[in-house]
Structure 1
Amino acid sequence: MKPAKSVKPVSKALLRSTVLLAVAAGIAASPVQAGAATHRQPAEGVQYVKLDHPQPVREAARTEAVEFFWYDCGHSQQLEQPLQAWAEKHRADVALRRVPAIWPGSPEEGVQRGHARLYYTLERLGLVERLQTSAFRSVHNDKADLTTEATATEWAVRHGVDAQQFGQAYRSDAVRQSVDDAAAQFVRYGVNELPTVVVQGEYRTSPTKAGGVDAMPEVLDYLVQQEQLRKR
């Protein structure tokens, strides 16, 4: 897949429908989900793909896993707790980095930028682990609009965050730059489905590839194991 050309502006409804149908088809066709071969080794081109243009990693000591997510994506929300458990299991050998998805040129880009700003504000304040699940629930389940400083601050205060500290982080140059960089990373990594996880800047998996959201941690285990074998 070509990273830039495969990203086309789509409506939120169409994006959700497309991803939902693709995931359903992937699950139906997956031997792991169907029970034909419950322990089949993940294969390149099937459960994961190699990026056309591998990306540099930010940490040399551990294997890097980069998750692209959107607070208003049901499958991203579904992956959150399994991914947290997976990252905890691999805390010693894997560095998990999250990137809020910004689909450049799409009708939802403004909403996604607002959600990205919320995420990077939480990250700057060291609150991602505590509030990530709540953010998913508020946006996706409760349909809360957290795309402006006012609404995001009100939400944060309800969750015990100091309003002044939140506002300073929200308006900071560092958060603004992180949002812009997230949009660029979305294209560079060739993301065409949410959620997507890229291991060591080179191998990408997603629900339709892995055979469903629940199958993604197993594929990630394999990719991390292969990367560790390559380092030996």
Structure 2
Amino acid sequence: MNSKSLLRSTVLLAVAAGIVVSPLQAGAATHRHPVEGVQFVRLDHPQPVRESARTEAAEFFWYDCGHSQALEQPLRAWTEKHRADVVLRRVPAIWPGSPEERVQRAHARLYFTLERLGLVESLQTAAFRSIHNDGADVTTEVTATNWAARKGVDAQKFRAAYGSAEVRRSVDDAAAQFIRYGVNELPTVVVQGEYRTSPTRAGGVEAMPEVLDYLVQQEQLQKG
């Protein structure tokens, strides 16, 4: 992770939650079961999940966050390993009232547009790279459409989805979820609306899949 992403994460957390991101803080106990209150926490108010057959993993991310970008490939691999028993739901992060809210809402709108067009899996990595690494501006309908067109997306279809009421509602709901789930670090993953982990909790981005394995296992044991 470069100094820019660390500084950005630190500033955001200081503003929004008074917490400084430190991926090594509360380091995961290697080869031990994750511990509640250390590697993960239980939500004060567990949230309902949309699917009962499989365990839900809800990832809160931001395209301009280095930690979120670092988790993308490990989380894809983890999800593939658990495709029979886990469903991944992505939620673009919006810190209501933060200095970054306008940009985060724009990035969320890009994400939900890609989701509506069925293009998340093919363009998620490209979005991270363009926005976080290259500093691409996708904060307006024009700039977002131009970016998508450069990636081979039909501009007319993109604009229609971008301006849809469904996408606008999804953006507003993402901001509300950020509060309901008590997110205070990016990325954050919440398992079955009940257990939350993040780089600081898990002991770094690379340690998160192991914690998620444990949480999914616990959910399955509860289901019997």
Does the pair score TM above 0.5?
yes
Cα distance between partner residues in 1 of 2:97 and 2:38: 29
Query: Does 2:139 correspond to 1:139?
Result: no
Q: What is the deviation of 1:23?
A: 1.9
Partner of 2:121: 129
Question: Structure 1 residues 190 and 17 mapped into 2: Cα distance closer, same or farther (>3 Å)?
Answer: closer
Percent sequence identity is 76
Q: Unaligned stretches of 5+ in structure 1?
A: 1-10, 33-37
Alpha-carbon displacement from aligned partner over 1:131-177 (angstroms, at most 9, x marks no partner): 00000000000001111111111110111100000000000000000
Alpha-carbon displacement from aligned partner over 1:174-230 (angstroms, at most 9, x marks no partner): 000000000000000000000000000000000000000000000000000000010
Partner of 1:30: 27
**TM-score with structure 1 length normalisation?**
0.89
Query: Does 2:11 correspond to 1:14?
Result: yes
From 38, 41, 53, give the equivalent of 1:61: 53
From 208, 211, 218, give the equivalent of 1:216: 208
Question: Structure 1 residues 153 and 131 mapped into 2: Cα distance closer, same or farther (>3 Å)?
Answer: same
Cα distance between partner residues in 2 of 1:12 and 1:194: 8
Helix, strand or coil at the partner of 2:105: helix
From 76, 80, 84, give the equivalent of 1:92: 84
From 88, 91, 94, give the equivalent of 1:102: 94
Query: Does 2:155 correspond to 1:163?
Result: yes
Cα distance between partner residues in 2 of 1:186 and 1:20: 16
Q: What is the deviation of 1:15?
A: 2.0
Q: Unaligned stretches of 5+ in structure 2?
A: 1-7
Residues 107 and 138 in structure 2, CA contact (< 8 A), matched pair in contact too: yes
Helix, strand or coil at the partner of 1:67: strand
CA RMSD between the two structures? 1.8
Question: Structure 1 residues 186 and 17 mapped into 2: Cα distance closer, same or farther (>3 Å)?
Answer: closer
Question: Structure 1 residues 218 and 31 mapped into 2: Cα distance closer, same or farther (>3 Å)?
Answer: closer
Partner of 2:218: 226
Cα distance between partner residues in 2 of 1:31 and 1:99: 25
Q: Which moved more, 1:187-196 or 1:13-22?
A: 13-22
